[in-house]
Amino acid sequence: MMNKNTLLAVFLLFFAAMGQAQSAKEIIAKSDEAMRGNSSETNITMKIIRPEWSREMSMKSWSKGDDYFMVLVTAPAKDRGTVSLKRGKELWNWMPSIERTIKVSPSMMSQSWMGSDFSNDDLLEATSIVNDYTHKIVGEEKIDGHTCWKIEMIPNEDAAIVWGKVNVWISKEHYLQMKAENFDEDMYLVSTMVASKVKQMGGKLLPTVMEMTPADEPGNKTIMIYNTAKFDHKIPDSFFSMQNMRRVR
């Protein structure tokens, strides 16, 4: 039988472990911070691959907190100057070819961004993975050599979200998002994103390659490669304005 001191020690260890245990939401919040920081500026290459053809785009992106995000297409020439902007819950596209600013409606969030396999919601981060979902740890798995929590995310009833469910895999060591599965409202798999090539960039350890594959289109995929990144530098809110969409370079 355990004596009183041994029993007390067991209880103390149990409650210490309980205190250290992280909720699924806390893990997601730490991952969101690890991947983005307070602000970011990146240079990205996007490769859209199809069975019969492929094309490549170069982009710059800027973000600040949860409310501001902008991406500028810098190549090829026919798409140069195209800008997508997120301000709060509103999303806009500037199309220099027709000199028009177009508001992205909620019904367009699941549509392809610039013909890629990333949706408007995937790229512009229109929803908050921390606040717009209910989170649950459902398992563990290794992704690209990293031991990960598998977390199920179900949209909150009042959140305008295109997915019926999202599964994400977050690495235990550095809180990196290494994989994500997007399901529609009928719980059919729509697309899978797998991250790889983790390395230091801009003072953060990050996966620098992200590959998105649609579930029902064999041979199709889009690869995003992060070439450079810097984080946590000052960007004024005014940078993310509709006026600046036409000027940003």
Position of tokens 């809110």? 237
Count of alpha carbons within 13 Å of 73, Cβ hemisphere only? 23
The larger pLDDT score, comparing residue 1 to residue 161, is at 161
pLDDT of residue 27: 95
If you average pLDDT over residues 164-184, what whole number do you get? Answer: 95
Task: Tell me how far apart the alpha carbons of residues 6 and 3 are, in angstroms, rounded to a whole number.
Answer: 5
For residue range 65-116, list pLDDT tens digits in order. Answer: 888 999 999 999 999 999 999 998 788 999 998 999 999 887 777 788 999 9
If you average pLDDT over residues 118-143, what whole number do you get? Answer: 85
pLDDT of residue 12: 36
Q: Which CATH superfamily is domain 39-234 in?
A: Lipoprotein localisation LolA/LolB/LppX (2.50.20.10)
pLDDT of residue 126: 56
Q: Which of 92, 60, 58 shows the shortest CA–CA distance to 243?
A: 92
Q: How many helices (H) and strands (E) does the chain have?
A: 4, 13
- DSSP assignment of 63-83, as one string? EETTTEEEEEEEESTTTTT-E
Task: Tell me how far apart the alpha carbons of residues 14 and 60 are, in angstroms, rounded to a whole number.
Answer: 48
In this prediction, what percent of the chain has a pLDDT beyond 90?
69
pLDDT of residue 46: 98
Q: What does the mean pLDDT of the chain come to?
A: 88
Residue 206 near residue 184, CB atoms below 8 Å: no
Task: Tell me how far apart the alpha carbons of residues 43 and 224 are, in angstroms, rounded to a whole number.
Answer: 10
pLDDT at 58 exceeding the cut of 50: yes
For residue range 2-45, list pLDDT tens digits in order. Answer: 454 554 444 433 333 333 479 999 999 999 888 878 899 999 99
Which sequence spans correspond to the domains of the chain?
39-234
Q: Assign 157 a pLDDT band (cuts: 50, 70, 90).
A: confident
Q: Which residues contact 123 (CB under 8 A, 6 or more apart)?
A: 71, 84, 113, 116
pTM score, whole prediction: 0.85
Count of alpha carbons within 13 Å of 189, Cβ hemisphere only? 12
Position of tokens 């992060």? 226
For residue range 222-234, list pLDDT tens digits in order. Answer: 999 999 999 998 9
The larger pLDDT score, comparing residue 44 to residue 160, is at 44
